[in-house]
Structures are given as C-alpha cells and as structure tokens.
Amino acid sequence: MKRLYELHGEGRSIREIARILGISRNTVRRYLRATEVPKPAPRAARGSKLDPYKEFILQRVAAGVAGADQLKKEGRLGPPGVGKMVCHL
C-alpha cells in the first residue's frame, strides 16, 4: 500500500488512485484516514462439502481404494461435485 500513499502525495484524487491500484474508492479512503495500515479482520474457517464424508474417505483410501471412481461406484461419495474434491485431500 506504499504506492497508495505515494500517489496521494503526488496529489492524485481518490478516484484516480482507486483506478490505478484496482481497488475501491472506499478502500483508498479507509487507508488514507487510518493512522496506521489497517489489518484485515480475521475470518472464520469455512467448512467443506466434503467434511461429513472426510473420515470415511480417508479410511477407504488407507484401505487401498485407488480413487473417487471406486467410491462413486459404491454410492458412498456424498453430494454431487464432491468426487472431484477427493483428489485434493
């Protein structure tokens, strides 16, 4: 955000700074009004569609099931679209 303060020091408008940096005007205002650089607020971790099935899938993988295809054949994979997510465990 050093660039933001440099542009402001050059006399650029808030709108122009926002356009150059690709951020909203409100973000530019917030940084310029702050006495120190604002820290992002902590966000709660989101769950995954796979969470209810994760333990089962990990057990099956440990037992030697090669991939999502076999789990899908067993009908134990979970909601649609979860099969692709199994590869990312």
Residue pLDDT, tens place only, 39-61: 888 988 888 877 887 787 778 77
Residue of 86, 79, 48 lying closest to 65 (CA atoms): 86
> Encoding tokens for residue 58?
């990990």
The pLDDT score that the predictor gives to residue 53 is 76
Q: The pTM is what?
A: 0.47
Token pair belonging to 54: 């994760």
pLDDT at 89 over 90: no
From the list 64, 70, 68, 62, the residue with the least C-alpha distance to 81 is 68
For residue 75, the SS3 value is: coil
Q: Give the whole-angstrom CA distance, residue 20 versus residue 3.
A: 10
Give the Cα separation of 34 and 74 in Å (integer). 57
